Structure 1
């Protein structure tokens, strides 16, 4: 058979994505890696909100915020999903034939230039590294079904040939793309209460890994230093900076709020009330960054100054209060 489907029950045209990628989200797309696993867990009819405690440990790293992603050990613990690095030693299409036939998915770096779901941004315009998850391979029709960002999509024809480098001449200098095998043959379907207890334990763990001081205050200080450089270098530089900073901070805390809200709902009315202040604080950080990304763009374009304390003060306070709420109630 030329068509190999790991998840035969899903189709790109009718796929209903996770509520974590709903249009009402402040950040519909979070980052290319965590989005893949949110949608995979959702497609498996499991609860993706359980895996999100790792967002509580995000930190400001000086020139970027933590590029947050689920830990492989936690994917196995929560859902029985096993993720291992793939030894990419032969053409990707050959690996895909072998692994998809065995019921394994492949998460692999790819070029968004050849992905129709990025139409309007990168498709046929920019060469940008991203990560996709291969699920449905049809060699005869040259068609690929794949998870990417906030959903499940298909590409075909020239896009298919370019993704797999089918038309490229052998090139000994071409470095193979990083890839992982994703095994779903031992998926575990836990009762909601049991899953929530495991997730709650992870929250406690990640509270121990959170930054030792308020990272948003450090971000505010660095922002004051970076703004003159952005005035000088212009909007292209700003957009690259904002993706690695404002976007990652905002998206991380949108997911943190979703996890804590879900834990409150599963725990009952009293637990939901106790955790509500943390949910509100983390949503404030998420929404604040959503508004900020456009506000700073306008300031950069107009070469206008901004007071870092005014920009980040409320968000820094929300981080302190949200973490204190979790310390008291988790």
Structure 2
């Protein structure tokens, strides 16, 4: 693969409200895309998003969903030698390796973390050139390459033994059972996965629960500064907004991929519009919050959150009706 000519998936297009979501799902979008698979089909897990007290769910495509849709089998990589040695073994067997890495040595983060901040992130290793000390990897919204000192530091090449060093978490991706299906076949499988994730949705409106915590957090952030705000925004607003933006895209893909009655199509269309509204409102809230934190002036953020909570409830209600009707039409009984 050539990192200079690689064409990223449309979910990472410049026209998106959220070009990036979180490191794990962004990597999977591009890994699936590079394998000529449709990553949109595995995005139904976003409808189980919840506010978890100090963050929004860091959503990931479940491994069982990846196998059901694409035949992709993900297993934990036991890094019992070194990451470099174990990764090379897996790549030689025709597999990919997903691993935590330090953004400090990832050139694609230039302008943010590269050579300035030590931040844990997830990359997918596609190619290792030992002789040239070069690594080809997926990260965030595209495919990249690093070499030289970045390679040495990423893999701790030649580092003295350190009994206190703990290997980072890694996985390998088996492609032995990889299979391809058109969008209609994928959508049929994906509807059952959607029902599973929708059944796991929060029992109470999570945006309503988030609102008082968020208002209090903004006041605290005014004393902590912009760096604290950026970390907070990634854990909360970005996961919320980007998640439902992907959810809206997923529902519109489902609508286009299946033959369905007009009322079912309208349910999906209406639900997608509500989740898009959450995405857009969160983007606005992100900017307002930044100004509030930096300006330290009182800003009433409540009206936007109330509207977002209403959109969540309406979108979930429409989606619940759709899934229920599809289950009955297929002769299934909801539990």
SS in 2 for 1:145: strand
Aligned twin of 2:190: 199
User: Which sections of structure 2, spanning at least 5 residues, go unmatched?
Assistant: 324-335
Aligned twin of 1:118: 109
1:8-39 CA-to-partner distances (Å, cap 9, x unmatched) read: xx321111111111111111111000111111
How many pairs does the alignment contain?
A: 321
Q: Distance in 2 between matches of 1:301 and 1:208?
A: 40
Q: Distance in 1 between matches of 2:286 and 2:219?
A: 16
Shift of 1:232: 1.5
Aligned twin of 1:136: 127
Q: Distance in 2 between matches of 1:319 and 1:288?
A: 12
Does residue 62 of structure 1 match 2:56?
no
Q: Distance in 1 between matches of 2:229 and 2:239?
A: 14
SS in 2 for 1:84: strand
Shift of 1:267: 2.0
Match of 1:163 among 140, 143, 154: 154
User: Which sections of structure 1, spanning at least 5 residues, go unmatched?
Assistant: 1-9
Q: Once structures 1 and 2 are overlaid, which stretch shifts more, 125-134 or 218-227?
A: 218-227
Q: Distance in 1 between matches of 2:123 and 2:133?
A: 17
SS in 2 for 1:182: strand
Q: Distance in 1 between matches of 2:214 and 2:298?
A: 11
Map 1:82-231 to 2 at 5 A.
82-231=73-222
Does residue 276 of structure 1 match 2:260?
no
SS in 1 for 2:4: helix
Q: Distance in 1 between matches of 2:55 and 2:92?
A: 39
Match of 2:252 among 240, 247, 261: 261
Aligned twin of 2:67: 76
CA RMSD of aligned residues (A): 1.2
Q: Distance in 1 between matches of 2:91 and 2:215?
A: 49
Q: Distance in 2 between matches of 1:192 and 1:239?
A: 37
Map 1:12-23 to 2 at 5 A.
12-23=3-14
Aligned twin of 1:11: 2
1:149-182 CA-to-partner distances (Å, cap 9, x unmatched) read: 1111100111111111114221111100100011
Shift of 1:92: 1.0
1:40-82 CA-to-partner distances (Å, cap 9, x unmatched) read: 1111111111100100001000100000001011111110011
Does residue 301 of structure 1 match 2:294?
yes
Aligned twin of 1:7: none
Shift of 1:204: 1.4
Contact kept? 1:263, 1:272, Cα under 8 Å: no
Aligned twin of 2:331: none
Q: Distance in 2 between matches of 1:249 and 1:107?
A: 24
Q: Distance in 2 between matches of 1:249 and 1:280?
A: 15
Shift of 1:308: 4.0
Q: Distance in 2 between matches of 1:192 and 1:105?
A: 24
Q: TM-score, normalised by structure 2?
A: 0.93
1:134-153 CA-to-partner distances (Å, cap 9, x unmatched) read: 11110111110001011111
Contact kept? 2:29, 2:39, Cα under 8 Å: yes
1:226-275 CA-to-partner distances (Å, cap 9, x unmatched) read: 12211111211111111100000011101111111100011247344331
Q: Distance in 2 between matches of 1:154 and 1:167?
A: 21
Does residue 313 of structure 1 match 2:311?
no
Q: Structure 1 residue runs of 4+, over 6 Å off?
A: none
Q: Distance in 1 between matches of 2:71 and 2:298?
A: 50
Q: TM-score, normalised by structure 1?
A: 0.95
Shift of 1:311: 2.7
